Structure 1
């Protein structure tokens, strides 16, 4: 059957029962259909403000796609240098499966960190020389060293972090927050996405639209991607010869037609489309203003580093993230690819750190000096870490790297109600297994939602006969990292 005809028949049945049922049955049906069509209708979100007082109003998620090496950057293990080249003990590996890239490798030689670690800040947090600027904000960040996930390949692992499932199709975290809490600015989307890659174009993975998709919740909650060149948002500008007043008249008439269909069918996607057209119209003036950095003082641009002048770079996107935070965009997701160092890790990892270290630290400092860090949660991390053993010949700098490792890895958070200058969790001397205070992906998601005033068990959406949530049926809030 034609999907349009099928939808028409479905809604005709709905109209029949809704219009002809009487008494208690009519009231029940009217309530059910009203609830269905009102999904995401309120500007304050379906929750009307949250379940408890929030510590954070907004999130800036710096998603490092590819798997940054916690061994080289965050998880200090002083004994590894002494064990260079030794076989990773079976007692440490514990039979954990490896990817096909190293499962056939005869030796799994220990590969120490590329650069020395040093204590940073008053907290004395041990961080690598690869990330000196992050060292300067050590007293502002909460370093979680006991993250863990079941996924060991990029797309499932990233999908898990961003949607709560390794299988595509569920709403992303930003979409959940938009659905639950609504929009803080009528002129900008509640969820914005910006992508970048290392300027040397060394390695990377595909970024899929479902990383910022709305899944089965109304599509108005999906992320809006800001591009690195041309129109910041694709097709946002009016075509040549289309004056703005004429565009306004066209949208008004289109809204009337869509409203008629909404009244007939009660389909929430029609309502979402009306809102999307209106948002696009307002964005024609709001977006050019927010992406314009010409009025930024030189000392601010210098904070973010020389790449800030390159449109589409991670540095420029970090600066734009601060500007979007100032405009109260709810969820700002920056995805930077190039962390998948299976080979040539000595060169490639240093390139990645140079691309991201200074801008990420500058973002935290910039938010702090503007009084925005207290209610903005900044997150920096990837979908998993890297193995402590070397992939390939570790005596050849250009031919060795590290494989994927999900059993233990690190990420940091700053602001938004997390403890500053704090470290949580511990791994074994090989940075391979979590030995204390493990934080699963679902635990991390539950904690992020909690900081935004949401009980992760109560933010749900009914679809195909069951209630879904970001954390599925798992997760607990990590109270120890909350200030």
Structure 2
């Protein structure tokens, strides 16, 4: 008999239908069986009092132009059409002023372009970092750097490190969810767990180019077995997994399977309800732009993000793109901004109304910025030396800007913040010391920020 009173014959009979319905990647959190290690995703105390309990990362794939969004450069408009003669720039490149007007917003006087009128209405809640920089001006390397802190090796993602350091707040939902991630620029590495326990990787919902309304979790329903039979089946599989783990003592693959099978079983009853938006009021759906085809898709992502964090999910990433306008900048950035502006403003409003914004860190940005000089008449090239990103809630100072690029927006010149610094600061807001958040692998203690990273305390509330 097992702990539930079933004989091995009962279990074998239940399993005769075949198993595998519950095995999908990125699922986590179970109550560990007797003799096994505690769950790697059991809630853990932070290193010090946290300002944020959870993260929503609004990832703008393809790199929005900072000089056209949140980094106002009047000198660039004055120099429009002139040749850029700065050392290291493309010879003969013509500077291009922003085609969008900027104005100040809120009591803070935050400068923002007309691309984001609704987000700008939240100016007094935003902490805009105008001095971001990263290592390389190539999408795959920069995108991986943004997500994992490394562009050369397979490393755990920021979300995976967050889950590893703090555990999950929900027994029935994944601790880390990635909605519509891109299959390019490193693909699954951007939400993977690498050498961390397999249960720390994200559960993926949907994919790039697919409407989120049509996206589902694979195998969330078992069409052949009811819940009781599935429980019998799972008990048999898990008893064999635990036997193997007792013999081998250390086997991350088996540990990950144990975790994922248990949560997968529980998720069948919980996740569909969280993803169902029918119970949301018409006013809430309007707030997120679900009634407008232009904003409906990203609005649904943002509303799902609010529902997920409200239900206890620790880290949620939403992806929107493509912002890579080497040509067609005005049309492309206008289209993209219209799709995300209202949903993001709705998310900030909803989080604030529900009392969630103070301890939810919202991050908006892409992998790098764009050049002040033009490309292909109506476009901008890649710029890794200076770009903008903003944070809101979760313990950051509201209504401020931090750092500056030069007068044309080429590179960070005041309080530069590298991606390692961003990661160190985000981890700090979650109550974790980035130098202490380590995992022993390949003979040394690995960490998200490697041997770098500085917490920018000037942006902390």
Q: Which TM-score band (shorter chain)?
A: 0.7 to 0.9
Shift of 1:168: 4.3
By how many angstroms is 1:383 displaced? 0.4
Cα deviation code 1:149-199 (max 9, x no counterpart): 1121111101001101012410001111111110100000110000179xx
**Cα separation, partners in 2 of 1:145 and 1:120, compared to 1, 3 Å:** same
**What is the number of equivalent residue pairs in this alignment?**
420
2:360 equivalent to 1:376: yes
Taking the aligned partners of 2:364 and 2:186, their CA distance within structure 1 comes to: 17
Gapped regions of structure 1 (runs ≥ 5) = 1-36, 97-102, 198-203, 395-399
**TM-score, length of structure 2 as denominator length:** 0.88
8 Å contact 1:40–1:180 — kept in the other structure?
no
Match of 1:58 among 51, 54, 58: 54
Distance 1:377 1:410 in 2: 17
Contact 1:307–1:316 under 8 Å retained in 2: no
Equivalent residue number for residue 327 of structure 2: 343
168, 171, 177: which is aligned to 1:192?
A: 177
Q: TM-score under structure 1 normalisation?
A: 0.84
Give the direction of change, closer, same or farther, for the CA distance of 1:326–1:42 in structure 2 (3 Å limit): closer
- Please name the residue that 1:18 is paired with: none
Q: Name 2:17's counterpart in structure 1.
A: none
Report deviation, 1:269: 2.4
CA RMSD in angstroms comes to 1.9
Secondary structure, aligned partner of 1:300: helix
Q: Is 2:453 the counterpart of 1:471? A: no
1:304 and 1:362 in contact (8 A); partners too:
yes
Aligned-pair CA distance for 1:231: 6.0
- CA gap 1:40/1:445 in 2 versus in 1, 3 angstroms: farther
* Distance 1:52-1:275 versus aligned 2 partners, 3 A rule: same
Q: How much has 1:49 moved relative to structure 2?
A: 1.0
- CA distance in structure 1 between the partners assigned to 2:140 and 2:392 by the alignment: 26
Work out whether residues 65 and 205 of structure 1, in 8 Å CA contact, stay in contact via their aligned partners in 2.
no
> Is the aligned partner of 1:293 residue 2:292?
no
Q: Contact 2:108–2:124 at 8 Å: present in 1 too?
A: yes
- Aligned match of 1:78: 74
Instruction: Answer yes or no: is the 8 Å Cα contact 1:425–1:436 preserved in 2.
Output: yes
Shift of residue 209 of structure 1? 0.7
Secondary structure at the counterpart of residue 391 of structure 2:
strand
CA positional deviation for 1:426: 1.0
Assess, with a 3 A threshold, how the Cα gap between structure 1 residues 39 and 66 changes in structure 2: closer, same or farther.
farther
Q: Is the CA contact (8 Å cut-off) linking 1:40 and 1:179 kept in structure 2?
A: no
Aligned match of 2:193: 214
Residues 308 and 319, structure 1, Cα contact 8 Å, conserved in 2? no
Tell me if structure 1 keeps the 8 A contact 2:108–2:123.
yes
Return 313-322 or 302-311, whichever deviates more: 302-311
Counterpart position of 1:271: 255
> Where does residue 9 of structure 1 map in the other structure?
none
2:369 to 382, 385, 391: 385
Match of 2:29 in 1: none
- For 2:137, what is the secondary structure of its paired residue? coil
Q: Deviations over 1:121-149 (max 9, x none)?
A: 11110100011011111011100000011
Deviations 1:314-339 (A, max 9, x none): 21100000001101210001111210
Change (3 A) 1:310 1:82: closer
Asked if 1:254 is matched to 2:233, the reply is no
What residue is the counterpart of 2:228 in the other structure? 245
Once residues 391 and 292 of structure 1 are traced to their aligned partners in structure 2, the CA distance between those partners, rounded to angstroms, is 44
**Aligned equivalents of 2:259 and 2:120: distance in 1?**
43
The 3-state SS of whatever aligns with 1:79 is helix
Name the structure 1 match of 2:301: 317
Matched with 1:426 is 404
CA contact (8 A) 2:289 2:295 kept: no
Q: 1:223 aligns with which of 202, 206, 212?
A: 202
**Equivalence for 1:147:** 132
SS at match of 2:73: coil
**Deviations 1:394-440 (CA, angstroms, capped at 9, x unpaired):** 2xxxxx21011010000000000000111110111101121211111
What is the CA-CA distance between 1:206 and the residue it aligns to? 5.4
Please give the per-residue CA displacement for 1:353-398, whole angstroms capped at 9, x wherever unaligned. 0011111111111100000000000000000000000012x2xxxx
Aligned partners of 2:41 and 2:199 also within 8 Å: no
Verify the 8 A CA contact 2:132 2:388 in the aligned structure 1: yes
Question: Which moves more between the two structures, 76-85 or 143-152?
Answer: 76-85
Of 419, 429, 444, the residue aligned with 2:422 is 444
